[in-house]
Amino acid sequence: MDPVRKSADTSPAGTGRSHARTGPPSAGARPTSAGTGTPSAGTGQSPGDTPPAPDRTSQARRARRRERLLTTATELFIARGYPATSIERICVTARVSIRAFYEEFEGREALLIALHNDVARAGMEAALTVLSDPATESADTRARITALTRAYVDAVTADPAATRIAFIEVVGVGRAVEDHRLLWRGLWTDFLIGEAERAVERGEAVRRDYALAMVALIGAVNELVGHWARNTSMFSPLMLADELVHHALAVLGLSAASAAPDGAVGGGGGGGSGVPMEGVAHMDGARGGLADEGE
């Protein structure tokens, strides 16, 4: 499948992660005392020693600051809604300066993209983890789709607040956010087409063009997960996952009645999804979903 073309650092949907800037030393900077046979002033190192590592303390402090901004933004977006939450409000609540905010994100949309990407990435990585299991690789389509879907749902519903951000708050925000969601939709469309082609090769599905069907399936996934995020007390993530299994199997022309029980996989054959690991790696952020089609 087509890998995601760019990381979010460089794509139109960039998260605004800043990069360390380097340049020439300032005028009058004191040169190091290399080759003198004496330690450099204030370093405690002799010439030839390994230079000191970058300041890990400052890196850790910056990572904590970024995480504080993300956590605070999540809380405020849930309580007030994305449109009513300003950068100033986020910074005051997180006790972070406006200047520090812009060192991490290009703007409010970039912060929202980062939150969405965390859920999206978690969902895709959960699916890929299932695929790495040899038992899943050899499973029949019903068992495989069941395992993939349940793993995905477990990942994207692990934090209901994050789920609401990724499946509700991102909808209709702006061009950059939509571009980012479309990148994820393309990745998932290719993933699901790969699963359909595997089912066809195994003689378990009819051969046809599944592209539009998978776009429709993604829309159903987003709508149902968004519905769960609004009504978490009404039904469980497992009920959500099993309903999505019915939808996925119906798209393939299969009945869910004989789906494998919990944890059971089986069958023969090979094949696999068309998702390259690098496709996910190119999406910025350390965490992941399928929230791209409209609510």
Please identify which residue in the block is written with the tokens 């994820």: 184
Q: What is the dihedral of CA 68, 71, 76, 82, to 10 degrees?
A: 110
228-250 mean pLDDT: 95
* pTM exceeding 0.75: no
Which residues lie below 8 Å from residue 16, measured CB to CB, with a gap of 6+?
A: 102, 104, 105, 106, 107, 110, 111, 114
Tens-place pLDDT, residues 137-193:
889 999 999 999 999 999 999 999 999 999 999 998 889 999 999 999 999 999 999
Per-residue model confidence (pLDDT) at position 58? 83
* pLDDT confidence bin for 83, thresholds 50/70/90: very high
Residues 6+ apart with CB under 8 A from 37: 47
